[in-house]
Structures are given as C-alpha cells and as structure tokens.
C-alpha cells in the first residue's frame, strides 16, 4: 500500500488558506476526516462489532460530534482518557463513555459519579483493588453504582522479553477472576466488561518483513487470552456486556475477533504520520499544521516560526512533525524541530519560498497538537467552513 498523502493540489489549497491566518495554525480537511471515518467503519466488516472513538486522538468536541453523527449505528460512544473528561463530555450532551485509564483521584471520580447520577452511561477500567476501593467511595458518596471493565494486559512475553505496553498487572484468567471477586464486597461497583488492547499489534507498522512476521506470532495469543478471560468471568456470573479491544492499526483483525463487542480507533480519523506504514485501513491525511516561513538564512534553508510540536513516546526522528508542503524540505539534523523556530533544508525539488509563505507539516500523533492550538480551522473543499475550539481552547487540560 502506498504511503498516505494529500495530492499537491490539495496541499496548495490548504497552504493558500493558511496564508490568511495567524500562524502557527491547525487545519482539518473535513473531506478526508469523513472519508477516514467511513473507511474505519467499513473495516469493521459485516458483523455486529461497533466502533468506539478514542477522544485522546481528537481532543476536539466538534470533531467528536461529527464522527458520532456520521457513523450511525456502527459508531457508538467515546473512549475517554480521564474521568473528569468523561464527566465534562456528558455535560456537553455526549454519552456512552468508557474511561480507559484508571484513577483514584476523588475529584475526578466524584465528577464521574455525579454524571452517572444525572443519567450518564459511563464506565471506567480497573486493574487493582485500590481502583475498586476508590470507585466504591465515589459511588457511595453519589448514591450510584459505578460500572467497570477489567483492563487485561495482552502483551506478548517471549524469553523474558515484554513486547507491548505496560498497562495492567492482570495477565491471566485467574488474575482477572480474583479481581472480579472484589466487586461483590463493594456494592457501589459492578463489573460489566473487559478491555484488552493489543497495542503491540495496533501500533506497529506493516511495511517491514519483521513487523509482519511479529504480528503473525503475536495475534493468536491475544485472541486466545481474551476469549479465556471473557469465558471465565461469564462463568462466574458477570454480565460482560462490553468487550473492547483494537486500535486504528488493527481494526479489521480486531473486529473479526468473536470475543469483542467493539473496537476503538481515533488516530485514523486525522491520520497522523506515524500510521503511514500501517496497511490495516487506507487513510488520508486530515490534520495539517501551518507555519510561517519567517527567515531565509541562505539559499539552502528556510526558517519557520515555531515547529516544535513533537509527539510523545520514545525520543526519535519519527516523533517530529513531517514537512509536506512545499515538497523537498527536510530537517537540519543538528537542530531538529525548534522551540520557537525551525530551520529546514531545501532540496532541488523545493520551489521558491518567500518570507511570509506557509509551510505545512503533518503531526506524528493525532491528538497532541490540540494541546498546542486553541482552535482548529475546518476546511471543506476550498473553504474554511468553521473555526472551532479544541479542549485547550475551551480551557480544559486533563493530563
């Protein structure tokens, strides 16, 4: 599969629109955003599995609403990254909220419990008795029962090596069953499901032979473990109505797992460049960062105002935003993406650049740029049709 890219005409249009904006600016191509959602939904296949949108990869209320409205019955609910975020989203008329990261913070869980008392369908993952204790306190204070999913670690372990993310200590059906027993002693909590996110599969590119071979080895144990845990917990009398897994990079494979009721995706909506080497779903870049060319230090370089919107994760060149317009620009290795300015090296393919021109970049991760911009400029065709706030623009910072 070819690396996802926007064609030159599209990039020129976006750069022209950005020329009239205060920069740095962030632009979302709504046509690409909607096409990506449609492709993710198509990737679910013909079964009953639904798609849950990961809010951390969007962090923009207007885009979340557009995704839910467009997706119809195959798109259900949001995966939130903070309990306080879920409570706020409910106050903004969102519902069916799954908090995928546990907490014991009283204020955040209190806000979540208050939302449930007000009618929210909200759930949160747990992986320890400490999490259950915190839920019990919050539920008792609000007079509600708080629904929870057990977070299952499905990482691959070979020869002492841990291949995957370090999320949860729950790694076996026995460990899950032992934690599940703790719900009975806490009457304001209820076990309703399981989350088993295969990050080591969903986040791995497909283009390399080693990566594809690894996925062939890693996939069967994930499916077996999820099925074993779900069966054990159902046999113990638990409802298990929500079984969540998957990510943008594994939607078709995850959706075919009979143990899952839903698959999560978020980055695929905006198609940040870390997903360019993933073949699971054909996606189009939808989020672009626009910077002003503010200096021409010599004929071989152009210097941008800003540029250092670097993604989290292991420090490496692939965490830098990727210059995409004009063509032929690359980083200066001794400087990289800077705090307040970023020099880029021009090549023979780079057309003339004047001071004041726009340079477009694609971020490495989809959600994190929303922490750097108060609003996104939403583009349809050749027109900016809306300027809408990000979480940060609404004054919200959850992590």
pLDDT at 156 over 90: no
Which distant-in-sequence residues (6+ apart) come within 8 Å of 91 by Cβ?
Answer: 115
How does DSSP assign 257-318, residue by residue?
-TT-SEEEE-HHHHT-GGGTT--SS-----EEEEEEEEEEEETTEEEEE----PPSSS-SGG
Kindly state whether residue 322 falls inside one of the protein's structural domains.
no
Has residue 363 been placed in a domain?
A: no
Confirm whether 102 is domain-assigned.
yes
CA distances from 160 to 5, 163, 225 (A): 39, 10, 18
- Whether 109 is covered by a domain: the verdict is yes
Is 130 contained in some domain? yes
Beta-carbon contacts of residue 368 (< 8 Å; ≥ 6 apart):
309, 311, 312
User: Distance between CA atoms of 167 and 150, rounded to whole angstroms?
Assistant: 12
**Residue 118 domain boundaries:** 30-270
Domain total of the chain: 1
Element (H, E) at 67: helix 61-71
Whether residue 229 is contained in a domain is answered as yes
Packed helices 30-43 and 61-71: angle between N→C axes, nearest 10 degrees: 50
> What is the pTM assigned to this prediction?
0.94
Which tens digit of pLDDT belongs to each residue from 327-380? 999 999 999 999 999 999 999 999 999 999 999 999 999 999 999 999 999 999
49-70 pLDDT, tens digit each: 999 999 999 999 999 999 999 9
Q: pLDDT, tens digit, for every residue of 87-142?
A: 999 999 999 999 999 999 999 999 999 999 999 999 999 999 999 999 999 999 99
Which domain CATH number covers 185?
3.20.20.10
Task: Answer whether residue 78 is part of any domain.
Answer: yes
- Taking residues 212-239, report their average pLDDT: 86
**Please, which pLDDT band fits residue 203 given cuts at 50, 70 and 90?**
low
Report the chain's mean pLDDT, rounded to a whole number: 94
- φ, ψ of residue 112 in degrees (nearest 5): -65, -45
What tens digit of pLDDT does each residue of 377-396 get? 999 999 999 999 999 999 99
Please work out, in degrees rounded to the nearest 5, the angle formed at the alpha carbon of residue 147 by the alpha carbons of 143 and 149: 155
Q: Determine, yes or no, domain membership for 351.
A: no
Residue 1's pLDDT band, with cuts at 50, 70 and 90, is: very low
Structural tokens at position 175: 């460990």
């Amino acid at each position: 599969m070819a690396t996802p890219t926007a064609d030159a005409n599209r990039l020129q249009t976006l750069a022209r629109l950005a020329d009239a904006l205060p920069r740095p600016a962030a632009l979302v191509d709504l046509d690409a955003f909607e096409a990506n959602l449609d492709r993710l939904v198509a990737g679910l296949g013909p079964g009953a599995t639904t798609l849950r949108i990961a809010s951390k990869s969007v962090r923009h209320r207007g885009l979340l609403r557009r995704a839910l409205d467009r997706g119809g019955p195959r798109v259900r609910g949001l995966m939130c990254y903070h309990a306080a975020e879920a409570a706020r989203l409910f106050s903004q008329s969102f519902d069916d909220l799954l908090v995928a990261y546990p907490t014991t913070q009283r204020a955040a869980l209190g806000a979540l419990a208050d939302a449930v008392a007000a009618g929210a369908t909200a759930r949160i993952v747990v992986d320890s008795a400490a999490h259950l204790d915190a839920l019990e306190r919050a539920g008792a204070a609000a007079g509600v029962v708080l629904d929870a999913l057990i977070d299952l670690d499905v990482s691959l372990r070979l020869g002492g090596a841990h291949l995957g993310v370090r999320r949860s200590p729950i790694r076996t059906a026995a460990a899950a069953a032992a934690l599940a027993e703790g719900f009975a002693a806490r009457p304001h909590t209820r076990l309703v499901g399981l989350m088993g996110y295969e990050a080591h599969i969903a986040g791995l590119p497909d283009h390399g032979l080693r990566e594809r071979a690894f996925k062939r080895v890693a996939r069967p144990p994930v499916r077996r473990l999820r099925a074993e845990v779900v069966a054990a917990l159902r046999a113990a009398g638990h409802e298990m109505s929500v079984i969540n897994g998957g990510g943008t990079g594994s939607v078709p494979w995850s959706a075919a797992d009979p143990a899952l009721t839903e698959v999560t995706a978020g980055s695929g909506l905006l198609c940040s460049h870390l997903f360019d080497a993933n073949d699971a779903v054909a996606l189009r870049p939808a989020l672009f960062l626009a910077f002003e060319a503010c200096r021409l230090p010599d004929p071989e370089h152009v210097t941008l105002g800003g540029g250092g919107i670097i993604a989290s994760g292991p420090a490496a060149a692939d965490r830098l935003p990727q210059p995409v317009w004009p063509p032929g620009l690359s980083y200066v290795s001794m400087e990289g993406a800077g705090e307040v300015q970023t020099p880029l090296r021009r090549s023979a393919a780079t057309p003339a650049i004047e001071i004041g021109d726009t340079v477009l970049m694609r971020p490495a991760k989809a959600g994190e740029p929303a922490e750097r911009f108060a609003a996104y400029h939403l583009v349809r065709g050749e027109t900016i049709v809306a300027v809408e706030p990000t979480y940060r623009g609404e004054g919200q910072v959850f992590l």
